[in-house]
């Protein structure tokens, strides 16, 4: 079922990367029983996300993480006091003072519960997951937010400061807050996930995903210009694949003008 929504989102937005699912695994027995290949070697969670977006499905535990800060964010390992005090963040020189570093740390999210491992892959192969991660250009992420707003209104917990993007912004925060989050990505994500300079990220809980996709689809006609609708239609296997009729003459300005004309007519009759 989730594969259908992932395919619809990809076509409605023209995504070039696959939509990814991430599953948090609490117990080793559960981890061992998952029918995925265990990752070999060590890599950052950013690199894991890139593999998943390229079509690979796998599972990974503490022994596969070479970026300890992503392991802290995902609950794979417990951070030492030097991290929770903000000392190590201050030492990076990314923040002017230790107090600011601690404030930045608190804006990130380290999962409180202990997680044995994670599974990740294209949503089509990982329907039982906890979080969905999407990367796209600024326009595509704008459309994601419009789709979210169509169904849920304004999000209440957006938070990104350009650090710990994949692990905290796009995985831990949506899981812990049960809400969508946006990420400006970070240096690690742009390096190890090979993200383009103009790419941004969206993470959201899996149970929001079907309604979120429907919101993106339902706003195709009000938002997209004619040439964009033509590109969407050309990508579909059948004209009705998205479940809507693509109306080349529709846009939200037209809908607004029609309402204003109607409202003026009603007012004149009062």
Q: Which two tokens stand for residue 98?
A: 């230790």
Residue 183 near residue 164, CB atoms below 8 Å: no
Backbone angles phi, psi at 110, to 5 degrees: -105, 125
Q: Residue 176, CB half-sphere, CA atoms under 13 Å: how many?
A: 22
pLDDT in tens, 54-77: 999 999 999 999 999 999 999 999
| Residues 14, 257: Cα–Cα separation, whole Å | 29
pTM assigned to the model: 0.95
**Measured in whole angstroms, how far is the alpha carbon of residue 140 from the centre of its chain?**
12
What does the pLDDT average to over 29-39? 95
Per-residue pLDDT band for 146 (boundaries 50, 70, 90) equals: very high
Is residue 234 over pLDDT 70?
A: yes
Percent of the chain at pLDDT above 90?
Answer: 94
- Would you call 205 helix, strand, or coil by DSSP? strand
Say what the pLDDT of residue 270 is: 78
């Amino acid at each position: 079922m989730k594969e259908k929504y992932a395919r619809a989102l990809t076509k409605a937005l023209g995504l070039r990367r696959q939509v990814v699912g991430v599953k948090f695994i609490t117990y080793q027995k559960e981890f061992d029983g998952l029918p995925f290949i265990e990752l070999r070697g060590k890599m950052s969670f950013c690199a894991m996300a890139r593999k998943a977006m390229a079509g690979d499905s796998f599972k990974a535990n503490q022994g596969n993480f070479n970026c300890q800060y992503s392991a802290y964010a995902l609950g794979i390992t417990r951070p030492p006091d030097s991290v929770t005090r903000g000392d190590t963040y201050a030492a990076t020189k990314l923040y002017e003072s230790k107090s600011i570093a601690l404030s930045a740390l608190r804006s990130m999210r380290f999962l409180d519960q202990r997680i044995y491992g994670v599974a990740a892959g294209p949503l089509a192969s990982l329907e039982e997951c906890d979080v969905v991660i999407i990367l796209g250009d600024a326009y595509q992420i704008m459309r994601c937010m419009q789709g979210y707003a169509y169904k849920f209104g304004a999000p209440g917990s957006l938070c990104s400061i350009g650090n710990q993007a994949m692990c905290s912004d796009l995985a831990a925060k949506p899981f812990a807050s049960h809400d969508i989050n946006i990420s400006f990505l970070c240096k690690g994500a742009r390096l190890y996930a090979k993200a383009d300079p103009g790419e941004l990220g969206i993470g959201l809980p899996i149970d929001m995903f079907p309604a979120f996709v429907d919101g993106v689809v339902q706003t195709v006609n009000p938002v997209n210009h004619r040439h964009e609708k033509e590109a969407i239609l050309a990508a579909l296997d059948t004209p009705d694949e998205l479940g809507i009729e693509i109306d080349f003459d529709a846009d939200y300005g037209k809908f607004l003008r029609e309402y204003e004309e109607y409202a003026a007519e009603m007012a004149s009759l009062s």
